[in-house]
């Protein structure tokens, strides 16, 4: 079961800073729509845009003033900006219905920009916010359904951690399954000790019945990461069976999030993640990186075993923290998981955590005996490029011919569509050296905002500039083609063509104040065609890459943070005309 964040109305709490809407700069040019990834040719397939108001904002204010008998209404500067926004929205709606998507995008962008600038002092704050919400929702529907914006998921999506649904539940034991499990244990080889008791049998019974889909999904998805996980577990000297902690914690979903704010495939909370090198920033969270999180989890489990000298206690400590297990041992005098469990010395969730891991291990090692339908997902393979400056994923998409959503899947640790400097960004296996060479040929300060375009037949510099909403002069200077048209097939750099989505949080009015309404968050997405200038605080460009695969040898050290491997400098291959 997954829960999603609506891109147009919600923003991940780790990214958003609560700002008053009126605090935005009056010159903000916020492009709400992403560049069209696809075009919808059939008008009938485009969603309809319903009217966002029965009366215009100004007419509604005048009517309200008349009804309240408060005299003649005189609009202020903010009211006039809202009126201008409604005009631009109507123009965008007309262009959209006529199939002119570029003009529709431009008009919608201008409408949102005017609304933001008009938020300082509207006469009727409640009416203003209602109109803004309606406009945002209408544009959002067009963005996703008609303008191709769905291909650019600016707001990260997260999945519910599957363990939460079952960890505090107990299940009856099927007497018929007891003898079956006893026989299986005799014939099952495992580095992790496997025991059979009623609570383990209860979970075997659950996963063999109501919970079958849970374990089948996890095992099918496990194949995608198993080579990488198995390699790291072996390097860290922990049992291979501990892969099932990831199955129980997340179902091998890199973006799993629990109610307790544990995140990622291995469900690290913030402080523990930081302890093992899984840092979090406004643009990235390494707890969502499958490879780095697996390394951190293996380190942590090895450390826990060294402390408790028992894998069951180590697994329990992974769930509830080593301090909790230490106190339980001190309080009872028993350093035995099952004894601690029977005495109620462990948290309720932890009492079932180890049995769940054991049940999953037993069933996965005997999948055919339980008739599990496993459809292994393809193994994920990639090359890794270490960035020296921020790089937008749209540029990487241009360089690799791989869609932005595919790059997002390869880089779940990114919370935005721009990889920060000093970050390991993944591209499909085999493409790393060429992509690194091409990036090395570009100025480091341009990587956050540049796009790459292959000139097609009939395209002129003016047409290309219009398409990307960029100054022709800037394109000609960046590609050294002043006074000439670019040749067909040439790859040219479009500076400033990409703008990172702008996330604006609306502050809730003071409680009890007239017109107060609930706080919402507006995500205003800047398109790659926005004219607004982009600046990038990037270091001076240097060699850009280390090519690394999941199967590359990684040195194991006593340090808890995963190590980084620098790669060779490669020559640039983008022709500069």
Could you report the per-residue pLDDT of 289-335, keeping only the tens digit for each?
999 999 999 999 999 999 999 999 999 999 999 999 999 999 999 99
pLDDT of residue 110: 86
Query: Which run of H or of E encompasses 428?
Result: strand 424-428
Indicate the pLDDT class of residue 140, thresholds 50, 70 and 90. Answer: low
The whole-number average pLDDT for the span 278-284 is 93
- The H or E element spanning position 341 is helix 337-342
Which pLDDT tens digit goes with each residue over 189-239?
899 999 989 999 999 999 998 889 989 999 999 999 999 999 999 999 999
Higher pLDDT, 518 or 502: 502
Average pLDDT for the chain = 76
**Per-residue pLDDT at 349:** 86
Handedness of CA 149, 152, 154, 155 (dihedral sign): positive
More confident position, 572 or 455: 455
Looking at residue 552, its pLDDT comes to 36
Q: Is the per-residue pLDDT at 530 higher than 90?
A: no
Q: What is the pLDDT of residue 136?
A: 80
Backbone angles phi, psi at 483, to 5 degrees: 80, 10
The contacts found for 330-338 with CB under 8 angstroms, 24 or more apart, are 335/308, 335/310, 336/310, 337/310, 337/312, 337/313, 338/195, 338/197, 338/312
Name the residue with higher pLDDT: 196 or 33: 196
| Among 251, 215, 254, 246, residue whose Cα is nearest residue 230 | 246
Average pLDDT over residues 460-471: 89
| Residue 556 near residue 165 (C-beta atoms within 8 A) | no
More confident residue, 74 or 303: 303
Does 74 or 69 have the greater pLDDT score?
74
Select the more confidently predicted residue: 143 or 492.
492
CA distance 87 to 80: 11
Is the pLDDT score of 114 beyond 50?
Answer: yes
Mean local confidence (pLDDT), 28-46: 33
Q: Helix or strand or coil: residue 284?
A: strand
What average pLDDT does range 135-148 have in this prediction?
63
> Phi/psi class of residue 99: alpha, beta or left (left: φ > 0; alpha: ψ in -120 to 50)?
left
Give the pLDDT confidence score for residue 66 in this predicted structure: 80
Higher pLDDT, 66 or 533: 66
pLDDT, one tens digit per residue, over 489-507 is 989 999 988 877 554 443 4
pLDDT classification of 154: cutoffs 50, 70, 90? very low
Rounded CA-CA distance 116/26 in Å is 8
Q: Tally Cβ neighbours within 10 Å of residue 395.
A: 27
How many CB atoms are closer than 10 A to CB 491? 18
- Pairwise CA distance, residues 564 & 542, whole Å: 17
What CATH number is given for 159-370 in this structure?
1.10.530.10
Q: What is the pLDDT of residue 170?
A: 61
Segment 419-429 shows an average pLDDT of: 96
Confidence of residue 3 (pLDDT cuts 50, 70, 90): very low
What was the pLDDT predicted at 164? 54
Residue in 147, 156, 153 with CA at minimum distance from that of residue 37:
147
Give Cα 174 distance to the centre of its chain: 41
Average pLDDT over residues 452-480: 90
pLDDT, tens digit, 9 for 90 and up, residues 246-275: 999 999 999 998 877 889 999 999 999 999
Judged against a pLDDT cut of 70, whether residue 112 lies above it is answered with yes
pTM over 0.75? The answer is: no
The 10s digit of each residue's pLDDT in 177-198 is 888 888 888 888 899 999 989 9
Closest CA to 352 of 161, 170, 164, 162: 170
- pLDDT, position 169: 59
**What mean pLDDT comes out for the span 147-157?**
42
Q: How far apart are CA 5 and CA 452, in angstroms?
A: 30
Instruction: Tell me: pLDDT of 88 over 50.
Output: yes
Q: What is the pLDDT of residue 168?
A: 55
Q: What average pLDDT score do residues 466-489 get?
A: 87
What per-residue confidence (pLDDT) applies to 324? Answer: 94
> Domain boundaries in the chain?
21-30+36-151, 159-370
């Amino acid at each position: 079961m997954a829960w999603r964040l609506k891109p147009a109305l919600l923003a991940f709490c780790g990214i958003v800073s609560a700002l008053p809407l009126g605090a935005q700069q009056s010159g903000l040019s916020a492009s709400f729509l992403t560049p069209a990834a696809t075009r919808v040719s059939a008008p009938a397939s485009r969603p309809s845009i319903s009217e966002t108001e029965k009366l215009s904002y100004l007419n509604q204010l005048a009517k309200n003033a008349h009804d309240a008998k408060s005299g003649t209404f005189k609009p202020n500067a903010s009211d006039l900006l809202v009126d201008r926004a409604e005009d631009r929205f109507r123009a965008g709606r007309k262009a959209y219905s006529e199939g002119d998507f570029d003009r529709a995008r431009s008009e919608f962008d201008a409408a949102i920009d005017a609304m933001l600038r008009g938020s300082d002092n509207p006469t009727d704050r409640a009416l203003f916010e209602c109109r803004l919400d309606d406009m945002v929702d209408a544009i959002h529907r067009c963005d996703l359904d008609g303008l191709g914006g769905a291909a650019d998921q600016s707001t990260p999506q997260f999945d519910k951690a599957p363990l939460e649904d079952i960890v505090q539940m107990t299940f009856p034991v099927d007497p018929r399954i007891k003898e079956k499990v006893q026989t299986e244990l005799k014939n099952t080889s495992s580095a992790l000790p496997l025991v059979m008791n009623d609570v383990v049998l209860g979970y075997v019974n659950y996963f063999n019945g109501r919970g079958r889909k849970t374990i089948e999904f996890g095992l099918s998805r496990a194949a995608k990461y198993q080579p990488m996980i198995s390699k790291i577990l072996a390097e860290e000297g922990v049992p291979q069976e501990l892969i099932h902690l990831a199955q129980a914690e997340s179902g091998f979903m890199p973006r799993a999030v629990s109610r307790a704010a544990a995140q990622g495939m291995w469900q690290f909370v913030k402080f523990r993640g930081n302890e093992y090198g899984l840092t979090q920033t406004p643009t990235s969270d390494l707890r969502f990186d499958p490879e780095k999180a697996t390394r951190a989890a293996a380190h942590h489990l090895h450390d826990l075993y060294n402390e408790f000298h028992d894998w069951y206690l180590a697994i329990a400590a992974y769930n509830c923290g080593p301090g909790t297990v230490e106190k339980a041992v001190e309080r009872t005098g028993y350093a035995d998981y099952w004894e601690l469990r029977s005495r109620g010395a462990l948290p309720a969730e932890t009492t079932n955590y180890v049995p769940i891991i054991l049940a999953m291990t037993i069933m996965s090692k005997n999948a055919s005996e339980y008739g599990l339908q496993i459809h292994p997902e393809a193994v994920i393979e990639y090359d890794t490029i270490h960035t020296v400056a921020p790089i937008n994923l749209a540029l990487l998409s241009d360089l690799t011919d791989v869609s932005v959503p595919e790059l997002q899947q390869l880089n779940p640790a990114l919370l935005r569509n721009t990889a920060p400097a000093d970050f390991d960004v993944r591209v499909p296996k085999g493409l790393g050296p060429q992509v690194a060479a091409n990036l090395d040929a570009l100025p480091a300060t341009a990587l956050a905002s540049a796009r790459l375009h292959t000139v097609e037949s009939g395209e002129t510099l003016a047409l290309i500039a219009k398409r990307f909403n960029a100054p022709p002069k800037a394109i000609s200077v960046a590609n050294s083609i002043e006074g000439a048209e670019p040749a067909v097939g040439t790859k040219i750099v479009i500076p400033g063509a990409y703008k990172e989505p702008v996330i604006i949080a609306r502050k809730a009015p003071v409680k009890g104040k007239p017109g107060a309404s609930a706080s919402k968050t507006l995500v205003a997405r800047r398109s790659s065609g926005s004219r607004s200038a982009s600046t990038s605080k990037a270091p001076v460009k240097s060699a850009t890459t280390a090519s690394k695969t999941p199967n590359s040898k990684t040195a194991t050290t006593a340090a808890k943070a995963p190590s980084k491997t620098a790669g060779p400098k490669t020559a640039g291959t983008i022709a500069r005309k």
